Structure 1
Amino acid sequence: MARSEINRTSEMEVFVCVVEHGGFSAAARACRMTPSAVSKLISRLEARLGARLVNRSTRAFQLTPEGCTFYERVTRILADIMDAERNAGAGEQPVGRIRLNTSKSYAAHILAPILPEFLDRYPGVTVDLVETDMVIDLLAERTDVAVRAGPLKSSSLVARKLGDTAMSVVAAPSYLARFGEPVTLEDLEQHNRLGFGYARAVDGWPMKTEEGTAIVPAVGRVQASDGEGLRRLALNGVGLGRLAAFTVREDIAAGRLVPVLEHLNPGDREAFHAIHIGQGGPLPSRVRALLDFLAERGRIS
């Protein structure tokens, strides 16, 4: 096929359709093509690229590593094309869907109060919000932006810092009335320490000692999958929780939670970042608008 006869955009669109629908038959229905036509198009694409993009079988569909890389680049190219076309007639006003992944704590305490302002500012943008504290693969989850707490590992992701927050051990007055207030590290052995049900960068509670800082395991009788779940458990008197200050500030002010062991607080802070795929290349205007908005209005303290 001559270079001038190759419709690369159509090939990209069909390939993305195959990936996002999980197979040739479903993609064929979405693209209004026959399964054999979709399969032949992907085969021609692989032959032209000189790389297998998809591992085919009767029971499973799986991208190869080359297919994953190609999908990442292609989705960005198609997004840029759509962005350019929309901006040509929309005066650079961002439009389109943003898939945002964030922790439940950030969603509840920071994002939800400011989201109406973002939607008013950008009426052409829609937000698909996914809440989880687990670290995700942005490419596999088709995520534009993720807000994450804690140290960042070196990767191909680009990060914009949204600030950091202090950490405190807190408990409900009802819990302290039943079990007493811990004063020393040894006292913690007698208390229910609420923890996370997955591995974290620091898997425990840093506490000051005469020698420096010790990590106290959070090995209570109840674990939760997210910080907001731990907060609700603490509010209901289930146990002690070590939580981000921005999530419990109002609870402490209202007397619903009480800080404990503050004299042993090492003063560590947890950083928050908005991350996205790429290394400084052009971003779709809708993604850039969200990143700028979070840096302006979604900061943590």
Structure 2
Amino acid sequence: MDKLSGLLAFVRTAERGSFVAAGRDLALSASAVGKAVARLEEELGVRLMHRSTRSVQLTEEGRQFHERCRRILEDLDDARAQLGRATAAPRGRLRVSAPIVGHHFLMPLVPGFLAACPEVELDLVFTDRTVDLIEESVDIAIRSGALPDSRLVSRPLNAFRLLLCASPDYLARRRAPTDVTELASHVAVRFRHPNTGKLLDWPLPPESQEVNARLRTALACNNIEALKSAALRGVGIACMPDFLVREELAAGRLCEVLPGQVSLSGRFNAVWVSSRQLSPKVRAFVDWLAGGGR
């Protein structure tokens, strides 16, 4: 037996409690399993098992070694499975959660992905609530900000900018601000985080953060689409991501306020539950998003 076979014989014996039972699992004789474990002990220079006529028991050193060996063999099995999965075609239902505003950058990528992976059935859930991927059987979530859940892993997607916008009508009525300090005298339309209830601070320079506390908030809402609607109707100045208002800015229906003075870079991340075996459909979708649909 080679070293890997010796480790397998040791681990299976430790789990089954006898050389006979381990031999049945490995299609070997009890004598062959016992000799493999003995050679492993001789090589390591330590006794791993106490033998009796009816069973074997791990020594303290054997218990420690067994845990390490078990993880090594699991990793090997996972590596083999992952190699097999890498050549498998993405297929099956893929449930994806994204913020409501996410359809602006997500939907343009969907047709190309479905064409490239025709055996995948996308199930998109747009919500500003933080979903529990495990409890709600969600494969991938699109999120921004920190990732406090250690059970999740993430991959960064394309960056965006938070900027201030207002309608031409509002700016004609109230005179466009020329300096950050003038924002305190304007009407603010602000986004309220659905999960925390806190108002989104505007992306002001560090030396002007106190202006956030002095903003006159005429309207607060937990739906950023409604926020854009209010800005388009001249209610006030709103802070929104650039991809949400790109068309409105290009058409002149909205104007950027204090360009070059007020903005903040942000980024969405694709997150999923940490797993040794990432399924082909999850890997394919994450790669597609990260590549911008390529």
TM-score for both structures, normalised by structure 2: 0.63
Deviations 1:15-53 (A, max 9, x none): xxxxxxxxxxxxxxxxxxxxxxxxxxxxxxxxxxxxxxx
- For 1:264 and 1:200, locate their aligned partners in 2 and report how far apart those are by CA, in whole Å: 27
Compute the displacement of 1:194 (Å). 1.6
Query: Which residue is 1:105 aligned to?
Result: 101
Compute the displacement of 1:212 (Å). 6.2
Structure 1 residues 161 and 282: CA distance shift in structure 2, 3 A:
same
Superposed structure 1 runs of 4+ greater than 4 Å apart: 212-215
Preserved contact between residue 110 and residue 298 of structure 1 (Cα < 8 Å) = no
Compute the displacement of 1:213 (Å). 4.7
Deviations 1:210-264 (A, max 9, x none): x465461466222222333322221222221111122222221211110112353
- For 2:90 and 2:239, locate their aligned partners in 1 and report how far apart those are by CA, in whole Å: 39
Query: Which residue is 2:115 aligned to?
Result: 120
Compute the displacement of 1:187 (Å). 3.0
Query: Which residue is 2:204 aligned to?
Result: 207
Query: Which residue is 1:255 aligned to?
Result: 252
Preserved contact between residue 190 and residue 199 of structure 2 (Cα < 8 Å) = no
Whether 1:232 and 2:258 are equivalent positions in the alignment is no
- For 2:190 and 2:252, locate their aligned partners in 1 and report how far apart those are by CA, in whole Å: 22
- For 1:263 and 1:296, locate their aligned partners in 2 and report how far apart those are by CA, in whole Å: 28
Query: Which residue is 1:6 aligned to?
Result: none
Amino acid at match of 1:135: T
Amino acid at match of 1:231: K
Preserved contact between residue 183 and residue 211 of structure 2 (Cα < 8 Å) = no
SS in structure 1 at match of 2:171: helix
- For 1:228 and 1:92, locate their aligned partners in 2 and report how far apart those are by CA, in whole Å: 39
- For 1:123 and 1:116, locate their aligned partners in 2 and report how far apart those are by CA, in whole Å: 10
Amino acid at match of 2:212: V
Deviations 1:109-162 (A, max 9, x none): 211112111111111111111112232222222211011122333522110000
SS in structure 2 at match of 1:194: strand
- For 2:157 and 2:199, locate their aligned partners in 1 and report how far apart those are by CA, in whole Å: 20
- For 2:165 and 2:236, locate their aligned partners in 1 and report how far apart those are by CA, in whole Å: 9
Whether 1:172 and 2:182 are equivalent positions in the alignment is no
Whether 1:241 and 2:238 are equivalent positions in the alignment is yes
- State how 1:38-49 maps to structure 2 within 5 Å: none
Tell me whether 251-260 or 135-144 shows the greater mean CA deviation. 135-144
Aligned residues: 211
Query: Which residue is 1:157 aligned to?
Result: 152
Query: Which residue is 1:193 aligned to?
Result: 188
Query: Which residue is 1:270 aligned to?
Result: 266
Gaps of 5+ in 1: 4-79
Compute the displacement of 1:173 (Å). 0.8
Structure 1 residues 169 and 147: CA distance shift in structure 2, 3 A:
same
SS in structure 2 at match of 1:137: coil
Amino acid at match of 1:102: A
Structure 1 residues 155 and 144: CA distance shift in structure 2, 3 A:
same
Query: Which residue is 1:297 aligned to?
Result: 292
Whether 1:132 and 2:127 are equivalent positions in the alignment is yes
Preserved contact between residue 162 and residue 272 of structure 1 (Cα < 8 Å) = yes
Preserved contact between residue 181 and residue 211 of structure 2 (Cα < 8 Å) = no
TM-score for both structures, normalised by structure 1: 0.62
- For 2:293 and 2:210, locate their aligned partners in 1 and report how far apart those are by CA, in whole Å: 32
Amino acid at match of 2:113: F
RMSD: 3.0
Compute the displacement of 1:167 (Å). 1.7
Preserved contact between residue 188 and residue 218 of structure 2 (Cα < 8 Å) = yes
Query: Which residue is 1:94 aligned to?
Result: 90
SS in structure 2 at match of 1:262: coil
SS in structure 1 at match of 2:135: coil
Amino acid at match of 1:168: L
